[in-house]
Amino acid sequence: MGLTEEVENKTLVAKIVMSKPMNVNAVKSILLRAWHPNGGAAIQRLEHSVFKSEEERNIIEDEGPLSVFGNQVIMKRWPSKATLDEIDFSTTSFWLHARGLPPGLRIEANGWLLGAQVGKFLEVTNGGER
């Protein structure tokens, strides 16, 4: 099943990495409260979430990923020509905050050293900003 361009621009597909089943309605409720999209969102089990606008989809994508009940939520854009089974959920991006570093060690070079330990590292920020 492919998507139309209009729907593709407002769609994210998510996979929750978990070891045991979850209550689907509880997960939907948590995601909608966390995302609080102005126009609402259609969340469907084993399918996709369609937001009311591309802007809202981008905000959710940028503020994620989230966790639900301590389980990682991996969000991806759904390319219009791909089926759900063709979307690669083997990687994700996430933000790390290194706490407890002495002030003299809170330098950009150490951020890069720490980041390199977790895989492909994208950026270092200072002051708690992403």
Q: Do 21 and 78 belong together in one domain?
A: yes
Based on the fold, state whether residues 32 and 74 are members of the same structural domain.
yes
CA distance 128 to 119: 21
Edge-first strand order for the sheet with 49-51 is 41-43, 49-51, 11-16, 71-77, 67-68
Mean pLDDT within 104-116: 86
Q: Are residues 74 and 16 in the same domain?
A: yes
Strands 11-16 and 71-77: antiparallel
Regarding whether 82 and 46 lie in a shared domain, the answer is yes
What is the CATH classification number for the domain harbouring 56? 3.30.70.330
Q: Are 2 and 82 in contact (CB under 8 A)?
A: yes
**Which pLDDT band, with edges at 50, 70 and 90, does 129 fall under?**
very low
Residues 10, 47, single domain; the answer is yes
Does 50 lie in the same domain as 15?
A: yes
Element (H, E) at 14: strand 11-16
Q: Domain containing 107: what range?
A: 95-130
Q: Are residues 76 and 121 in the same domain?
A: no
pLDDT tens per residue across span 52-102: 788 888 887 877 657 788 888 888 888 878 887 888 888 877 777 788 888
Give the number of domains in the chain.
2
